[in-house]
Chains A and B, each alone.
Chain A
Amino acid sequence: MNNLNERGHARRKWINRIMLVLSGTAAAIAILILALILGYAMIKGISYLNLTLLTQASKPVGETGGGMRNEIFGTLILVALGSIIALPIGLLAGVYLAEYANPKLAATIRFTADILAGVPSIVVGVFVYAIMVIPMHSYSAVSGGVALAIIMVPVVARTAEESLRLVPDSMREAALALGITRWRAVVGVVIPGAMTGIITGIMLAVARIAGETAPLLFTALGSSFGLQGLLKPIGSLSLLIYHYALSPYKSQQQQAWAGAFLLIVLVLGINIIVRWVSNRKQF
């Protein structure tokens, strides 16, 4: 009997060891995958990167030189358009949810925001194609901006709401006790109090839409000419990576990697800076 217990004990210890090692391995695999993707894309991207790529417009295959200046510019314009449309909607919707909502309506709207955030981005692209591209008879920068905005709105609304909720009620009461109106209290006291959280949310949403491709395929379409007016198609880094990745020409494939490098620096750079700043504030 004693012997059996000993054996059972040894077995339990072995199972313990094996499972813990497996769990550690799983974490290592997850981290390794990131290192593989990032490492490969960064090394390959930086080796093809040069000043010409950053400062010149693209040229047809076969001609030397040519770059992605217009696409870099296009990404910035599309992100700016998306943000200009999404920020007022998202922020004020967040204010409503945190400050004014009646519980039943708030639950509905919160639920809607979560559903909207879960809509596949390609579906958003098709939707914007139907409501903007078809009536306007043209692919356009502004429809790309609208598609990105639809992706951004629920994210901004929910993060704004959560940051506003963290502002203690005593601050609201103190402001109201001074005799100012409620909206002045919200705009002047509550929102500034939640600013770090709100900006964190906005920047993370910006990083996300900067890398989006699927919603731009049938809205902004892509173009190598840069901005020719908001009602004309426009290119972006993400679209360039997609088109050039599938291209048979070596020079374009290399540009896809260089573009990937730039996009990674942009997207992960924003993420890392935002987290670093918001973590420092917490402690």
Chain B
Amino acid sequence: MAIKRNEQKTLTPGSMKCPRFIRRSGYTDNIFSNLTLFFAIVMVVILVALVIILTRDAMPAINKFGFSFITNTMWNPVTDVFGALPAIYGTLITSLIGLLIAVPISFGAAIFLVELAPNWLKGPASFIIEMLAAIPSVIIGLWGLYVLVPVVRHPIEKWLGSHLGGLPFFQGPPFGVGFLAAGLVLAIMTIPIITAVSRDSMKAVPNEQREAMYALGATRWEVINKAVLPYCRTGMVGGVILGLGRALGETMAVTMVIGNSNKLTASLFSPGTTIASTIASQFGEASTGVQTGSLIELALILFGVTLIVNVIARTLVWRMTSLKAAKK
């Protein structure tokens, strides 16, 4: 396609051999194509400006704390000393809980949608799961705060505490708001993404693959497990990493259920904080340049981490879908 269009370019006005009236219309053509190029480059400029401005404004914190910013557990506006470790820990632990719950559900749902569901059910079921992704995160936060948190406090954390209380994760008083509730909310928010990407990857598996396995006398699950999943593993892992990218940066829903306390503790019942929720809850009232700088440095860290995660995910998903294109 691209080559064909380049050939067209040599035919269109602009080359000196064209008659003059066409050559003149070539100017309007140039103006338009340069205009589109300009707006395309605007996107690049936004991204570059984002990195430069955030780095510039984080300088007060970078200069003052250096590397200790990410190892320090203090977050003290009174003494003007800030460290990001509790927020980084909270971001990682809540995303991990979210993925641990979301991945099996999403993979199961994707298998159902592609391999098992009768045709009349495939469309509507996919649609409903996609709608879950469209619900604004502030509404999931509201629901999480008033519906999920009480459930987490009473049956869930109480049960975990009395049955698995030997583990350090399940000790301490059940608060309701905390890492566990945030992890559950993140699971809800990543299920639709991971399901959609896994579903698309599984759809890209050629049918011959399944038929060959059935011909060997395999059961349905064996076909899925041994012929389909190995083939689309790359794409599904890409989906999980894409979900991770979303979970790391999710702000509103997490801020509303995590309790926003700058603690570093193994207990999942305890209130905590994440990078995004620290920014959301403190940026408005940051009083000193160092505090603002620290929050902006947090934003910069969050940007960097999600950037890496998203690049890995895109590469994996792209590899899977380009495989499909090559087969066609």
Q: Which residues on A are within 8 Å of B, measured CB to CB?
A: 12-13, 15-16, 19-20, 22-27, 29-31, 33-34, 36-38, 40-41, 88-90, 92-93, 95-97, 99-101, 103, 108-109, 111-116, 118-124, 126-127, 129-131, 150, 153-154, 157, 165, 169, 172-173, 176, 181-183, 186-187, 207-208, 210-214, 217-218, 221, 238, 241-242, 245-246, 253, 256-257, 260, 263-264, 267-268, 271-272, 275
B8 touches A122 (CB 8 A): no
* Chain A residues within 8 Å of B33, by CB: 96, 100, 182-183
List 11 A–B pairs whose Cβ atoms lie within 8 Å, in order of A's numbering.
A23-B112, A26-B108, A26-B109, A38-B135, A93-B43, A109-B41, A120-B248, A122-B276, A211-B136, A264-B135, A268-B131
A33 touches B132 (CB 8 A): yes
Given A31-B129, A89-B42, A95 and B136 touching (CB < 8 A)? Answer: no
Besides A12-B219, A169-B1, 14 other A-B contacts (C-beta < 8 A): A19-B225, A26-B109, A29-B109, A33-B188, A93-B43, A108-B44, A120-B276, A123-B249, A181-B25, A183-B32, A211-B137, A213-B252, A242-B252, A264-B135
B2 touches A176 (CB 8 A): no
Q: Which of B286-318 contact A (CB under 8 A)?
A: 295-296, 299, 302-303, 306-307, 310-311, 314
Given A16-B221, A27-B117, A131-B53, A153 and B306 touching (CB < 8 A)? Answer: no
Asked if B12 lies at the interface with its beta carbon under 8 angstroms from chain A, I say yes
B132 touches A34 (CB 8 A): yes
Asked if B50 lies at the interface with its beta carbon under 8 angstroms from chain A, I say yes
Residue of B8, B42, B104, B106 touching A172 (CB-CB under 8 A): B8
Residue of B2, B53, B127, B142 touching A130 (CB-CB under 8 A): B53
* Chain A residues within 8 Å of B307, by CB: 115, 118-119
Residue of A30, A118, A238, A275 touching B195 (CB-CB under 8 A): A30
- Chain B window 85-118, contacts with chain A (Cβ cutoff 8 Å), 1 for yes, 0 for no: 0000000000000000000111111011101110
B303 touches A153 (CB 8 A): no
Name the 8 nearest CB pairs between A and B, nearest first.
Answer: A26-B108, A120-B249, A211-B136, A183-B32, A96-B36, A27-B112, A118-B310, A16-B219
Residue of A25, A114, A207, A246 touching B256 (CB-CB under 8 A): A246
Q: Which of B35-55 contact A (CB under 8 A)?
A: 35-44, 46-47, 49-50, 53-54
Complex CA distance for A264 and B138, rounded to whole angstroms? 11
Complex CA distance for A127 and B53, rounded to whole angstroms? 7
A150 touches B46 (CB 8 A): yes
Residue of B whose beta carbon sits closest to that of A18: B221
Asked if B227 lies at the interface with its beta carbon under 8 angstroms from chain A, I say no
Asked if B273 lies at the interface with its beta carbon under 8 angstroms from chain A, I say no
A30 touches B132 (CB 8 A): yes
A19 touches B37 (CB 8 A): no
Complex CA distance for A38 and B188, rounded to whole angstroms? 13
Residue of B5, B40, B112, B141 touching A242 (CB-CB under 8 A): B141
* Chain A residues within 8 Å of B115, by CB: 23
Q: Which of B140-185 contact A (CB under 8 A)?
A: 140-143, 145-147
Complex CA distance for A213 and B135, rounded to whole angstroms? 12
Residue of B134, B143, B195, B249 touching A40 (CB-CB under 8 A): B143
Asked if B200 lies at the interface with its beta carbon under 8 angstroms from chain A, I say no
* Chain A residues within 8 Å of B252, by CB: 213-214, 242
* Chain A residues within 8 Å of B37, by CB: 96, 100
Residue of A183, A207, A245 touching B145 (CB-CB under 8 A): A245
Closest Cβ of chain A: how far from B252's Cβ, in Å?
A: 5
Given A99-B5, A181-B28, A126 and B283 touching (CB < 8 A)? Answer: yes
A119 touches B4 (CB 8 A): no
